[in-house]
């Protein structure tokens, strides 16, 4: 059974991440929102500190070492997944774009940690790896990927386009999803580690975005890009009986991380709005029914309830991963709930704070812009709800589209 009390061993991690969010991220948040595509150099020292903690066996606040720990008879575990969720929540309470810009702590690194073998883990240790999945013709439906990978001796030759690659320009390598044989459908899609200096890999452009402007978002083209066979993540065999499960395992670990980002941003918006409303003379009395107080207070209480539900779903998904329990359903549930809650709450806070919330003197308007991506990347809201429906109804992807 899930114990909702935060284990003592996580309290230093939470404190550490909160201090980073408050003292490092918040002061430079607006600076890098305005200076889009400018690398936040302040994060280099932070990344080095986190690397040092990981190398010494300590646990930092980032998402660099996600792994599904084995369950068995060893008792309840709270491991790397819970660490990453709790730490990322506090970092994104500070700033989502800056959290995504910490070197070597991104979702590509989490993907490697989730499915890479020991040799790959050792070879890519210390590298910043971005995730390259989305294509011009394959956004929400990852199974529609057109990028191809053809075996040629000891190598694979990759061709295709990848867009919306978070941290693509700054990263050292990419996790590229490509199909070994499109005629065999989802089962043929594999993930490849592609170093940025590989001939045939070209950075096409950087995107101008609504939010998370501190984080660069890139588009790439692969033209006869030759990658060693040992850079394939997982098995090279195409097993149609297992379908898409192999590469999709990555999302079971990373979707709770994105949900944690949304939980952190939502809490930031709620706390700041509560302060602004209090300055205006609107106080929340939790002892009275919502209908007996100020309408603005009632709305904020509604947002708090949604936030708590999203937080608990996220903790559950991370706890299941740490304890070796299949969490694909729970990962999609927490991602769907937290992403939508972040968007709805941030926009509600803008409205509740009026001109103060809409102006650039406060960070609330920025959080409203940042929130939308959390409802989109790592699987859109609609896709998450579709996955949840399939799991609950026992339907396949062909039966329920």
Other residues' Cβ atoms within 10 Å of the Cβ of residue 275? 12
pLDDT digits (tens, 9 = 90+) for 332-374: 999 999 999 999 999 999 999 999 999 999 999 999 999 999 9
Q: Are 277 and 352 in contact (CB under 8 A)?
A: yes
- Residue 399 domain-assigned? no
Please check whether residues 221 and 285 belong to one and the same domain. no
Long-range own/partner contacts, residues 106-109 (CB < 8 A, 24 or more apart): 106/63, 106/130, 106/131, 106/166, 106/167, 106/171, 107/63, 107/131, 107/166, 107/254, 107/257, 107/258, 107/378, 108/167, 108/171, 108/173, 108/174, 108/175, 109/63, 109/64, 109/65
Please check whether residues 249 and 387 belong to one and the same domain. yes
Both ends of the chain: CA-CA distance in Å? 34
CATH number for position 219: 2.40.110.10
CATH number for position 298: 1.20.140.10
- Transcribe 81-99 into DSSP letters: HHHHHHHHHHHHHH-HHHH
Instruction: With a cut of 60, say whether residue 62 has pLDDT above it.
Output: no
Lowest mean pLDDT among 161-165, 220-224, 291-295, 298-302: 291-295
- Residue 238 domain-assigned? no
pLDDT of 64: 46
- Residue 401 domain-assigned? no
pLDDT of 337: 98
Strand partners, 202: 221
pTM strictly above 0.85: yes
Please check whether residues 342 and 216 belong to one and the same domain. no
Q: Is 330 a catalytic residue?
A: no
Please check whether residues 201 and 110 belong to one and the same domain. no
Read off the pLDDT of each residue in 389-394 and give the average, rounded to a whole number.
96
Top mean pLDDT of 58-67, 71-80, 133-142, 316-325 is at: 316-325
Strand locations in 208-251 (E)? 217-228, 232-233
CATH number for position 105: 1.10.540.10
Please check whether residues 324 and 373 belong to one and the same domain. yes
- Residue 204 domain-assigned? yes
Residue 56 is part of which domain span?
Answer: 8-123
pLDDT digits (tens, 9 = 90+) for 193-244: 999 999 999 999 999 999 999 999 999 999 999 999 999 998 888 876 555 5
pLDDT of 234: 85
pLDDT class of 246 with cuts at 50, 70, 90: low
Please check whether residues 271 and 199 belong to one and the same domain. no
pLDDT of 25: 98
- Residue 329 domain-assigned? yes
- Residue 229 domain-assigned? yes
Instruction: With a cut of 50, say whether residue 145 has pLDDT above it.
Output: yes
Euclidean distance between CA atoms 364 and 217, whole angstroms: 22
- Transcribe 19-41 into DSSP letters: HIIIIIIHHHHHHHHHSTT---T
pLDDT of 143: 74
Mean pLDDT of the chain, nearest integer: 90
The last residue of one of the domains, among 88, 123, 158, is 123
From 59, 135, 365, 378, active-site residue: 378
The last residue of one of the domains, among 85, 108, 123, is 123
Instruction: Please choose, from the candidates 108, 122, 10, the residue with its C-alpha nearest in 3D space to the C-alpha of residue 63.
Output: 108
Please check whether residues 134 and 116 belong to one and the same domain. no
Read off the pLDDT of each residue in 248-277 and give the average, rounded to a whole number.
93
Query: How many domains, the chain?
Result: 3
- Residue 3 domain-assigned? no
Lowest mean pLDDT among 7-21, 58-72, 121-135, 340-354: 58-72
Instruction: With a cut of 60, say whether residue 264 has pLDDT above it.
Output: yes
Please check whether residues 28 and 81 belong to one and the same domain. yes
The percent of residues above 90 in pLDDT, for the chain, comes to 72
The angle formed by the CA atoms of residues 65, 96 and 361, to the nearest 5 degrees, is: 155
- Residue 249 domain-assigned? yes
Please check whether residues 136 and 119 belong to one and the same domain. no
The last residue of one of the domains, among 60, 94, 123, is 123
Please check whether residues 203 and 334 belong to one and the same domain. no
What sign does the CA torsion over 150, 156, 161, 163 have?
A: positive
Give the DSSP letter of residue 79. -
Read off the pLDDT of each residue in 104-118 and give the average, rounded to a whole number.
82
pLDDT of 396: 87
Structure tokens at 334: 């927490």
Please check whether residues 279 and 384 belong to one and the same domain. yes
What is the CB-side half-sphere exposure of residue 209 using CA atoms within 13 A? 27
Strand locations in 104-188 (E)? 129-132, 148-152, 155-166, 173-179
Q: Are 98 and 54 in contact (CB under 8 A)?
A: no
The angle formed by the CA atoms of residues 130, 170 and 178, to the nearest 5 degrees, is: 30
pLDDT digits (tens, 9 = 90+) for 153-206: 999 999 999 999 999 999 999 999 999 998 888 889 999 999 999 999 999 999
Please check whether residues 199 and 227 belong to one and the same domain. yes
Instruction: With a cut of 90, say whether residue 291 has pLDDT above it.
Output: no
Q: Give Cβ neighbours of residue 323 (< 8 Å, ≥ 6 apart).
A: 69, 71, 76, 77
């Amino acid at each position: 059974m899930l114990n909702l009390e935060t284990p003592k061993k996580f309290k230093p991690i939470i404190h550490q991440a909160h201090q980073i969010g408050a003292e490092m991220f918040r002061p430079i948040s607006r600076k890098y929102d305005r200076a889009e595509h400018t690398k936040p150099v302040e994060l280099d020292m932070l990344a080095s500190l986190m690397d040092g903690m990981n190398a010494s066996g300590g646990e930092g606040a980032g998402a660099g070492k996600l792994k599904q720990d084995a369950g068995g008879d060893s008792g309840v575990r709270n491991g790397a997944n819970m660490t990453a969720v709790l730490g990322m929540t506090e970092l994104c309470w500070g700033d989502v774009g800056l959290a995504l810009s910490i070197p070597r702590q991104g979702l590509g690194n989490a993907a490697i940690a989730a499915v890479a073998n020991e040799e790959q883990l050792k070879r890519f240790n210390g590298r910043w790896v971005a995730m390259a999945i989305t294509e011009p013709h394959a956004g929400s439906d990852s199974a529609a990927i057109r990028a191809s990978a053809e075996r040629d001796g000891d190598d694979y030759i990759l061709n295709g386009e990848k867009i919306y690659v978070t941290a693509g320009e700054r990263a050292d390598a990419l996790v590229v999803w490509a199909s070994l044989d499109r005629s065999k459908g989802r089962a043929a899609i594999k993930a490849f580690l592609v170093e940025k200096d590989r001939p045939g890999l070209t950075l096409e452009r950087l995107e101008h975005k609504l939010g998370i402007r501190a984080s660069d978002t890139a588009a790439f083209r692969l033209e006869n890009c030759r990658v060693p066979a040992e850079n394939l993540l997982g098995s090279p065999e195409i097993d149609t009986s297992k379908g898409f499960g192999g590469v999709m395992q990555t999302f079971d670990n990373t979707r709770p991380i994105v949900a944690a980002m949304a939980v952190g941003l939502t809490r930031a918006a709620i706390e700041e709005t509560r302060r602004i409303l209090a300055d205006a003379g609107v106080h929340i009395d939790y002892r009275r029914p919502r209908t007996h107080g100020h309408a603005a207070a009632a709305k904020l209480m509604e947002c708090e309830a949604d936030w708590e539900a999203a937080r608990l779903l996220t903790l559950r998904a991370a706890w299941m991963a740490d304890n070796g329990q299949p969490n694909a359903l729970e990962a999609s549930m927490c991602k769907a709930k937290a992403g939508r809650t972040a968007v709805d709450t941030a926009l509600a806070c803008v409205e509740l704070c009026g001109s103060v919330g809409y102006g650039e003197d406060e960070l609330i308007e920025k959080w409203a812009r940042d929130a939308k991506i959390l409802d989109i990347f790592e699987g859109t809201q609609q896709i998450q709800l579709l996955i949840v429906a399939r799991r609950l109804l026992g339907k396949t992807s062909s039966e329920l589209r």
